[in-house]
Amino acid sequence: MLFDSVVESYARVRPAYPDVLFGDLAAIAGLGRQARVLEVGCGTGQATRDLLARGWTVTAVEPGAAMAGRARRHVGSERLAIEMATFEDWEPAGRSFDLVFSATAFHWVSPVVRWHKAASILEPAGHIALATNNTVRGGTFTAVYDAARELHARAGWAERDGPAPTLEEAVAALGSAPPDVGLLWGAAAEPKAGLVRTEDLFEPPVVRSYPWEAAYTSEEAVLLLGTYSPYLALPAQRREPLLEGIRALIDERFDGRVTRRYLSVLAVARRR
């Protein structure tokens, strides 16, 4: 729920997803323009607008009131309905869908609930599709992280995930993951999701990955970092000096502009 406190920054600087990802999703899942989609955690609508652009009807489940309000203003379509709830508490009320989709949000749902509930609301030939944006090493953003280690230590930062992988390492991890969407997602795409076997619910997934990069001014880079949960979880008296120090570092050592490399990942699995 911390994301509700940074809605405008989130909408402004959080990375969207490559257009080709949604074209691949439509082709893999065989979705026509009349498809009914349930989106888990729409946030401010970064991916929602791309789902709607395919002609699909979207029901989005979002627990944050400010996030949901921003998505309604950001997207605005008669084919979009946003229902305020966590996915755990949301009631399908007898509805079923052709696709359950979630972009960088499925790991927030209880692992005891998410896979079984997603399968239970899918049509017999329906699919689950998960997307995420992973940071990979390279670009000047990596150098900023390396140069800011002392700033993070001073703020009491506890490194959780270790350094970002290289592009080659991230792609190799996807390629060597088990052919199970739950295990793949937790092992190689979203490690925060945890490892859950789903072979009794879904067929082996089709996986696609898309490398790309984005440029940020020092202001945008700091806004971006401030939308991620490890920074949001810091008390303001530690978070604000840390982010201001990173802003000054980018201005002084990187001429006020940095690039960040991403690997977007899509996994699509058909319901058994």
Is pLDDT of 255 > 80? yes
Is residue 88, in this structure, part of any structural domain at all?
yes
> Domain tally for the chain?
1
Half-sphere exposure for 248 (CA within 13 Å, toward CB)? 7
- In whole angstroms, give the CA distance from residue 244 to residue 212: 27
Tell me which H or E stretch contains 1: none
- Tens digit of each residue's pLDDT (9 = 90 or more) over 135-165: 999 889 999 989 999 999 988 886 666 678 9
Domain CATH code at residue 32: 3.40.50.150
Distance CA 16, CA 38 (A): 19
For residue 180, tell me if it sits in a domain. Answer: yes
Classify residue 239: in a domain, yes or no: no
Question: Which of 162-171, 181-190, 207-216 holds the top average pLDDT?
Answer: 207-216
Residue 183 has pLDDT above 70, yes or no: yes
Cα dist from 150 to 50, 100, 246, 260, 264, whole Å = 40, 42, 11, 21, 30
The residues pairing with 89 across neighbouring beta strands, listed in sequence order, are none
The answer to the question of residue 41 being in a domain is yes
**Residue 103, domain extent:** 2-136+166-211+264-270
Q: What is the pLDDT of residues 47-94, one digit of tens each?
A: 999 999 999 999 999 999 999 999 999 887 899 999 999 999 999 999
Task: Please give the Cα distance from 144 to 258 (Å, whole number).
Answer: 8
User: Quick one: average pLDDT of 157-174?
Assistant: 85
In a domain, 54, yes or no: yes
Q: pTM, whole model, 2 decimals?
A: 0.94
Instruction: Let me know if residue 20 belongs to a domain.
Output: yes
Quickly tell me which residue has 């945890």 as its tokens.
Answer: 194
